Amino acid sequence: MRESWLERFAETPDVLKSARLQQTVVPVLDLEIGGSEFITMAGPCSVETEFQLMATANHVRRSGARILRGGAFKPRSSPYAFQGHGLEGLKMLARARQESGLAIVTEVMSEDDVPLVAEYADILQIGTRNMENYALLEAAARSGRPVLLKRGMVATIADLLRSAQLILDNGNPNVILCERGIRTFETATRNTFDIAAVALLKQISHLPVIADPSHAAGLRELVPTLARVAVAAGADGLLVEVHPNPEKAWSDGEQSLDFAGFDEMMADLGPWINLHDMSRAKKEHGQPKRKSADTLSMEAVG
C-alpha cells in the first residue's frame, strides 16, 4: 500500500491493511463475507406483508442470493411516509429466514433498538443517515452482530473509515463497508455512484466492501449495469432491492427490480462473479486473514 495512504488515513490505523492482516472475513451463519465467494444480498426496501416477504425471499434464494435484506424500521425523508412495521417486521424477517435459509440484514435506527434488532437479525445495517451517529455505532458494536456500515450521503472515505474505526474500537471486528452513492451536483440519478471508492477501499482496507447499486442509481434500469461495474471493481458483494411488484411498493419502487429483472441481472453477472471468485480463491492462499472469535476459541481448545 502506498505510504501516502497510511499518512492520509492515519486516524484509522485498524481498518487499514497491514502485513499482518490483508483481508477480514466476516462470518454470517454458514457464509463468509470477504472470502472467496461473492455474496449477494437482496430483498425489498421495506417489509410490507408476509406474502411479499416470503415470495421475495424464496425467489432471490433460487436466483443466487445468500442474504435477505428488508427494512423493519424505515428512516424516511417524509414523516408521513411508511415508517416500517417495527417488531412485527422483525418477526416476519425471522420467519422468512426459517423458511428460506437466508441470513437476514436489516437496519437499526436507534441505540435503544439495538438489542431488539440484534435478537432477530444476523447483520445490523447502519444507514447512510446514521453513519456518524456514534452512540448508535457503539451500541451496534457491542451487540456482537456483524455491522454493515453504509457510507453517508455526503461523507468522505475518511469519514466512513473513522466510523468503522469506532466500531472496531468497541470490540467488534466484523464490519462490512458499503458504497451506496453520494450527493453531488448531478441530479439525473438519485445519487452519484462512487465506483472509485470501491476500488480504493479494496486497496487500503482489509474490511469487506459491498456496493448498493439500487440507492446509487435510484432507477431500476441502471441497477444491473452498476452491479456489473461493482463486481469488476473488486466488491465483495451487492445489496440490491427486489420486490414482487415494484410499481406498488410502499417505498423505493422506482429503484427496485422485479423478479424477472433480478433473474436477468444475476444471470448476466454469472461470468463476472465466477472470475471474481476464482481470483479471490487464488489470492487467499498464503495471505493472512482475521478469523472469527469462535474459530480462535475452538483452535485454542483443540
- The residue ranges of every structural domain in the chain are 3-301
The C-alpha cell 480504493 sits at 200
Which residue, 194, 190, 133, is CA-closest to 166?
Answer: 133
CA–CA distance, 236 with 201 (Å, rounded to integer): 11
Task: Copy the grid coordinates of residue 196.
Answer: 472509485
pLDDT of residue 289: 52
Q: What is the pLDDT of residue 286?
A: 54
> What does residue 199 show for φ and ψ, rounded to 5 degrees?
-65, -40
What the block records as the C-alpha cell of 165 is 474505526
pTM of this structure = 0.91
Report pLDDT digits (tens) over 159-191: 999 999 999 999 999 999 999 999 999 999 999
* E-state strands within the chain: 23-24, 26-28, 31-33, 39-43, 67-69, 103-107, 123-126, 147-150, 175-179, 209-211, 237-241, 289-290
Residue 44 exposed, middle or buried by CB count within 10 Å (0-12, 13-18, 19+): buried
CATH topology of domain 3-301: TIM Barrel (3.20.20)
pLDDT at 294 over 90: no
How do residues 59-104 score in pLDDT, each as one tens digit? Answer: 999 999 999 999 998 665 555 555 568 899 999 999 999 999 999 9
Residue type, 260: A
| DSSP for residue 218 | S
Q: What angle do CA 109, 17, 176 make, to 5 degrees?
A: 20
Q: How far is residue 1 from each of residues 36, 162, 203, 204, measured CA to CA in Å?
A: 21, 19, 7, 7
| Backbone phi and psi for residue 88, each to the nearest 5 degrees, phi listed first | -65, -35
The Cα–Cα gap between 69 and 56 comes to 10
Predicted pLDDT of residue 169: 98
If pLDDT is split at 50, 70 and 90, which confidence band does 299 have? very low
Angle at 157 (CA atoms; ends 155, 160), nearest 5 degrees: 65
